[in-house]
Structure 1
Amino acid sequence: MLLALVMVSINLRPAITTVAGVMNQVPGVFGLDPALLPLLGTLPVLAFGISGPIGPRLARRLGTGRAVAVALMVLAAALIVRATVPALLLPGTFLAGMAIMTASVLVPQIVKANRGTGWWTGLCTMGFGLGAALGAGLVQPLERAFGGNLPSALAVWAVPALLGAFLIHRSGGRTTPVPAAAGTAGQVPGTASPLRKQRTAWAVTAFFGLQAMLYFAITSWLAVYLVSRGLLPSDAAALLAWFSLAGLPASLLAPVLAARPRILRIMAPGLGMSVALALVGVLVAPVELQFLMVGILGFVQSAGFGLAMALVVIRSAGPQSAGRLSAMSQGFGFALASLGPLGAGLLHTMTGGWEVTFWVLAAEAVVLAGAGFLAIRGPLVSVEPAEVSLQTQAKPSPVR
């Protein structure tokens, strides 16, 4: 199951970073109006925000594993269609985003159902980063391997998506039913408030959305920014891949460390401030130091994503609540995140430079620190009476 989950996670970023790594080539190869490039970077994230509820609903009908497998097969089809039919580049990218979101929201639910530790969440989040790095780093070598054919270099990513669908389907991936709240001697049925009325759920959603907005703004425009600083397009694409690779250790360790309350109290707000400082560093550092600064930014940004995924698991009372919180945090969060690539691109166009864009992103990272502070406080998120009842029973009775 863990192997299948990691393989699924690896497939949930290349559809975005492969295009980001060759953004400057897209207008010439696909005949896309350069003015639509910000839209191309925004579409998958916008699809994330719209398709959040699809995953849990599909899981209730098919089972979690089958739902993820179906999503990956749709992803594979979207990758092929958008690469081979230039007129469908934008619709295919949107469909790929919907498929990615459908699978993504179910990963924490499967982890929670299998009682996965922080290492499970860490390995899955590391899979996201590894997939992003492979997508950005291999797109140009694959293009050369296919004789300069960029569409083939983009379409080939359908193969690992199909492999991930096969593995998760074979592993099962069905969540364990929550034991009934009634019918057990001495058990008092619990009650659960609607998710929209739980402050912890909104705090986790804000944290997820803000870190995702930063991530997609950075991955969409970092290579373009570096080219404007004088780097060759191939070197800029390599640094974009380095951005993801440098974050792999952080995405693995952040969920593990987050399981320790003392560390979590510092980590949740501290990561936002670290991202703000790293963004300023990339802006002001000379070209010779960009390898170091991009690596630092990739490390702290990936730690933020690892913590966001961990919060969905840690701050939920059971598998069903984890699935619902995952859908809410990623659905609303990615709807917010869709403003990242578009806003960054528009700020660059309006100002003619990158200074304002980077300072605005740094200010957003400070707000992220505040969201992290709030996300680790308050009661656990629960939408199932059974989970509330079981949670209550697990607590020792107060001394009278």
Structure 2
Amino acid sequence: MKKQGKLLIIGIILFAGCMRTPIGMVSPLLSNIQQTLGVPAGLLGSITTIPLLCFALFSPFVPQLGKRFGNELIMFFAVLVLALGNYFRVFSTTFLLIGTLLIGLSIAVLNVLMPVTIAQKYPQRVGVMTSVYTFSMTLFSALASGQSVALADHVGWQKAMQSVSILAVLGMIFWLPALRNIHKSKTGKRTGNSVWKARGAWYLSAFMGLQSLLFYTTLTWVPTILVSHGMSRGQASQLFGLMQLASLVTSYFVPILAYRFKRTRGIILSMAVGFLAGLGLLMIPTASVSLTIVVVVVLGLASNMAFSLAMALFNIKTDTSEQTAEISGMAQAVGYILAAFGPVGVGYLQQLTGSWNLPLILLLIVVVILTLAGLAVDRSRTIFD
């Protein structure tokens, strides 16, 4: 592999590291942020909600930006905006909200264009490079959410959060080789059908959306559920970190297997069993560490199995990079709308009933629908068939 190709791989790894980390490391630092900046309690939830809404509302427009200016250039400037927004958001409540908005818009660009760029730069190694991308995103997010409090204790929460900007700048440096060969769509009349009119695209969007809902809902509430079962906050935090680390396994192997075999029925059914077992066991009100380890590991594996498969399907179920960009934009728009309602809806139901059983039962129903959507996608060669 040429030197430029090796440098670009590092750029992809670092860019992927910026795609969850600015959001994932905020939750453990919310109390620090509130005490220092005096952020009203009602606005704290918006720090995680704003990015999800940005993903939903901005994703459909990203493919057009890529077509006009080139995917590589748009991604480079998106990471620049992310670095600036992340750096300045620690100075005041106003900067916090504006910076979070900029971060959300930037990650929306990366979410949509990363699968496309990987397919363009590494057409013979799409499966492996998708695995590198999803693995890196998961690893950096797990490390950030697990170590953000410790880092904040040593250097202060502001510098801890600003450290993501360093990661972004390093990624931009290694991304420079990509700017020498920018991919733009050919001018002229659009060919082919719109993804918004393809039944398969809606199945894939439903799969993306429902897995996003499950991911962000478990990300938000699993620690709280474990505490309600009688565990200490320290134990819940450690087990939550284990859940994210367990997901590293599927984040690497699932894209490779999906590309090798093309038919993904086995992966989808394994994901369904994992979700059903993990959520079902989570309904048992026990403080048993051994049982809870099983629960969080199974949930972590299933959750990232679904996400990694969704990322792989964007390329597997399309024939051109333009189609990949369009279904990525559509699926992520639909997906993150659903994701934004998941944590809020589950929290509301828990308050209404005083129990986690009904919310978890509804999530089990979501798993069934997710599985059916995935199997529907798997039946066709492309989303347009």
Pairwise TM-score range, normalised by the shorter structure: 0.7 to 0.9
Whole-Å separation in 2 of the counterparts to 1:285 and 1:64: 48
Higher normalized helix content (fraction of residues): 2
Q: Are the counterparts in 2 of residues 277 and 362 from structure 1 also a CA contact under 8 Å?
A: no
Whole-Å separation in 2 of the counterparts to 1:63 and 1:267: 34
Match in the other structure for 1:137 = 146
Segment of structure 1 superposing worse, 171-180 or 122-131: 171-180
Whole-Å separation in 1 of the counterparts to 2:362 and 2:268: 21
Compared CA separation, residues 52 and 78, structure 1 to 2 (3 A): same
Q: 1:57 aligns with which of 64, 70, 85?
A: 64
2:53 is the counterpart of 1:46: yes
Provide, for residues 303-329 of structure 1, a one-character-per-residue CA deviation record: whole Å limited to 9, x for no partner: 111100010010010111111111111
Whole-Å separation in 2 of the counterparts to 1:66 and 1:38: 32
Residue identity in the other structure for 2:128:
W
Segment of structure 1 superposing worse, 277-286 or 242-251: 277-286
Residue 247 of structure 1 aligns to a residue whose secondary structure is helix
Question: What is the CA distance between 1:174 and its match in structure 2?
Answer: 4.8
Whole-Å separation in 2 of the counterparts to 1:44 and 1:221: 18
Q: After superposition, where does 1:321-360 map in structure 2 within 5 Å?
A: 321-360=323-362
Compared CA separation, residues 169 and 276, structure 1 to 2 (3 A): farther
Match in the other structure for 1:219 = 219
Q: 2:39 aligns with which of 32, 35, 40?
A: 32
TM-score by length of 2: 0.88
Runs of 4+ in structure 1 deviating by more than 6 angstroms, as ranges, are 177-181
Whole-Å separation in 2 of the counterparts to 1:162 and 1:32: 28
Whole-Å separation in 2 of the counterparts to 1:31 and 1:223: 25
Match in the other structure for 2:126 = 117
Compared CA separation, residues 330 and 125, structure 1 to 2 (3 A): same
Question: What is the CA distance between 1:348 and its match in structure 2?
Answer: 2.7
Segment of structure 1 superposing worse, 284-293 or 323-332: 284-293
Q: Are the counterparts in 1 of residues 250 and 304 from structure 2 also a CA contact under 8 Å?
A: yes
Residue identity in the other structure for 1:56:
P
Whole-Å separation in 2 of the counterparts to 1:173 and 1:110: 14
Question: What is the CA distance between 1:38 and its match in structure 2?
Answer: 4.0
Question: What is the CA distance between 1:102 and its match in structure 2?
Answer: 0.8
Match in the other structure for 2:5 = none
Q: Are the counterparts in 1 of residues 265 and 378 from structure 2 also a CA contact under 8 Å?
A: yes
Residue 348 of structure 1 aligns to a residue whose secondary structure is helix
Whole-Å separation in 1 of the counterparts to 2:378 and 2:68: 33
Compared CA separation, residues 3 and 271, structure 1 to 2 (3 A): same
Question: What is the CA distance between 1:341 and its match in structure 2?
Answer: 2.1
Q: Are the counterparts in 2 of residues 273 and 365 from structure 1 also a CA contact under 8 Å?
A: no
Whole-Å separation in 2 of the counterparts to 1:305 and 1:329: 12
Whole-Å separation in 2 of the counterparts to 1:84 and 1:335: 29
Compared CA separation, residues 282 and 25, structure 1 to 2 (3 A): farther
Segment of structure 1 superposing worse, 86-95 or 305-314: 86-95
Residue 125 of structure 1 aligns to a residue whose secondary structure is helix
Compared CA separation, residues 96 and 173, structure 1 to 2 (3 A): farther
Segment of structure 1 superposing worse, 2-11 or 281-290: 281-290
Q: Are the counterparts in 2 of residues 9 and 124 from structure 1 also a CA contact under 8 Å?
A: yes
Residue correspondences, number: 374
Q: 1:380 aligns with which of 379, 382, 385?
A: 382
Whole-Å separation in 1 of the counterparts to 2:58 and 2:181: 21
Q: Are the counterparts in 2 of residues 199 and 378 from structure 1 also a CA contact under 8 Å?
A: no
Residue 259 of structure 1 aligns to a residue whose secondary structure is helix
Whole-Å separation in 1 of the counterparts to 2:180 and 2:353: 49
Question: What is the CA distance between 1:380 and its match in structure 2?
Answer: 1.7
Residue 52 of structure 1 aligns to a residue whose secondary structure is helix
Residue identity in the other structure for 1:224:
T
Residue identity in the other structure for 1:236:
A
Match in the other structure for 2:280 = 280
Question: What is the CA distance between 1:228 and its match in structure 2?
Answer: 3.5
Residue 84 of structure 1 aligns to a residue whose secondary structure is coil
Q: Are the counterparts in 1 of residues 68 and 185 from structure 2 also a CA contact under 8 Å?
A: no
Match in the other structure for 1:10 = 17
Q: Are the counterparts in 2 of residues 271 and 300 from structure 1 also a CA contact under 8 Å?
A: yes
Residue 59 of structure 2 aligns to a residue whose secondary structure is coil
Q: CA RMSD in A?
A: 2.7
Whole-Å separation in 1 of the counterparts to 2:19 and 2:143: 11
Gaps of 5+ in 1: 182-188, 383-387, 389-400
Provide, for residues 238-262 of structure 1, a one-character-per-residue CA deviation record: whole Å limited to 9, x for no partner: 3333222111110111111112447
Segment of structure 1 superposing worse, 323-332 or 344-353: 344-353
TM-score by length of 1: 0.85
Whole-Å separation in 1 of the counterparts to 2:109 and 2:199: 24
Q: After superposition, where does 1:242-253 map in structure 2 within 5 Å?
A: 242-253=242-253
Counting aligned pairs with the same residue, the percent is 27
